Structure 1
């Protein structure tokens, strides 16, 4: 198992869940929910949209060695509009952060997150602010467990594409 903090990302159309691992790659924990903002960067910024800039700041603050982005495939394994969005986001993120970015299958992570929050007594309305963080935690924990079991990083590397 490689050492170093990893950051997990659950890309949504409105919010982006962010999680982190410990240095030894054993346990994933929630970090924050970043508002999805596909707009232009603020004047004077290095033309990086605010959501990508915030995630890059988190990666830097945590001194992360890798970012794991959930790849939302259909249950059949086919690509959907959400899959394409996550791939595009991961490509832009790979341009923005100074560490490798990987895509990891995340089928049912949000459903699992919602079930876990319901079990913990959270109503659907009170889940909304944290469900993306929990989904990111599930995605990252899956990647950590896969690497520990196989000795290889989970998922597929992302090549930087286009501009952030």
Structure 2
């Protein structure tokens, strides 16, 4: 369930997270809030240390907001993983004091695998980057929604 995007165009950099049980993919926007780039994959150890590590990354990259992927069921209902992601992200937001947004990440991991397949990225080392690609897709979806729909000029047919 995507929250209606609030205008955040004055924000310098936004951090995107793909929160899983074993890894957290991290992405960051450019200074204009136009594009998302992969940053890091955190291999989780324990919630307290994971939050401390991500909080350090928010400071290092001067993030001014956090977008966390919300893995919903195809029906739109919260999955057990969505509840875990929400709890983690809310604790991170409390620790950093940054605004938190949730973004529907249904099919993001599938899309990330497709992107890596098309780019010719082999299966070796895929786990190291798949969560970063998913975080990029989550963040890029949020950034694109901030700008609204792109209208193409009419075509003469």
Q: Same fold (TM over 0.5)?
A: yes
Return the alpha-carbon distance in structure 2 between the equivalents of residues 109 and 136 of structure 1.
9
| CA distance in 2: counterparts of 1:2 and 1:140, whole angstroms | 16
> Structure 2: which 5+ runs fail to align?
1-8, 150-157
Alignment correspondent of 1:5: 13
Taking the TM superposition and a 5 Å limit, the aligned residue runs for 1:32-71 are 32-38=40-46, 49-71=48-70
**1:91 matched residue in structure 2:** 90
How many residues align structurally? Answer: 141
Q: Look up the match of 2:32.
A: 24
The aligned residue for residue 113 of structure 1 is 112
1:117-157 deviation per Cα after TM superposition (whole angstroms, max 9, x unaligned): 1111123342110000000000000000001117xxxxxxx
What's the TM-score, normalizing by structure 2? 0.85
Instruction: From the CA coordinates, give the structure whose radius of gyration is larger.
Output: 2
Q: Distance in 2 between matches of 1:26 and 1:9?
A: 17
4+ runs of 1 displaced by more than 6 Å? none
* Equivalent position of 1:78 in the other structure: 77
Q: Which residue of 2 aligns with 1:160?
A: none
1:112-131 paired onto structure 2 within 5 Å: 112-131=111-130
CA distance in 2, matches of 1:70, 1:6: 13
